[in-house]
Every structure is written in structure tokens, then in C-alpha cells.
Amino acid sequence: MKKIFIALLIVLVIIQFFQIDKTNPPIDKSKDFLKINNTPPEIASVIKASCYDCHSHETKYPWYSSIQPAAWFLKSHIDEGREEFNFSTYGEYNAKRKDHKLEEVIELIERNEMPLSSYTIIHKEASLSEANKKILIEYFKKVRGNSNFNENENEE
């Protein structure tokens, strides 16, 4: 048992040398969802607090992002989040993709699947109250309604 503990400890020390890349990609504010949609500040602050760490190029890496294997788990969530929907590159999406992604965001908020509970356990400020959920859902529906969806545009 003692040998297993020592071996595990050695492995935990060694993996600390394999850090994640915490460099955020460059930000072009002209492509950012909040800028493009001229999002009111009170709604923008909720979106930034609840969504931007995983779904933008404005990730603020917490202290535990330097501890393996937690950092690897965190980085995979950020990469996946950015791939699914990235507020920082929203302006690059075609109209059909914008509409589809906003539809998904609305559904995920309605089903209490976003933000992830594994995130809000540590980041209480990211939790959405029922009032904030309603505000975000209404806002994202409004943005969808104002979009110029064009059937002829290419998908994603």
C-alpha cells in the first residue's frame, strides 16, 4: 500500500510539469456578440459572468488551472465550449448558424444545462437566478427575431 501511495504521489508531481496553454486567442471586438447586438449593460454583465469563461476568448483562468489533472479537465471544457458557441467569433457565423446557435442556447438555459453545474459549484457568480434565466431567454429570442435569417446561406 505504501508503494502505491508513493507511486501515485510521484505521478501527481510529474504531471504538474505538463501545464495547459492559458493564452486566449486575440479578440476582435467587432465580431463579439455583445458588440454586434449592442447588448444592454445589465444583460451583458449576466452573459459575461455566466458564459464568457467557457464560450469566448476572454477566459479568466482560476487558481486551480495550474493544478493537474484539474487543469486538463478545465481546458477540455473551455475548448469544447468555444467550439460549440463562441461569443468572441459570433460575427464570423453565417445567419443560419447564428440562428441555430441562439436556439440551442435558449434550449440549454431552459433545461438548466447551462451554465454547467460543475462550473457554478465553484463560480457562484455564474449561477443564473430564475429572473436572469428569463431575461436571457427573452433577450436571445429577441436577437433571433431581429436576425436576417436567409434560407440560401450555407450551414455552419
Task: Write down the pLDDT at residue 149.
Answer: 54
55 CB neighbour count, 10 Å cutoff: 26
In single-letter form, the type of residue at position 107 comes to E
Report pTM: 0.84
Instruction: Please state, in angstroms and rounded to a whole number, the distance separating the CA atoms of residues 58 and 49.
Output: 11
- Residue 154: phi, psi to the nearest 5? -70, 150
Task: Write down the pLDDT at residue 155.
Answer: 46
- Pull the grid cell for residue 92: 464570423
Task: Write down the pLDDT at residue 50.
Answer: 96
Tens digit of each residue's pLDDT (9 = 90 or more) over 38-97: 999 999 999 999 999 999 999 999 999 999 999 999 999 999 999 999 999 999 999 999
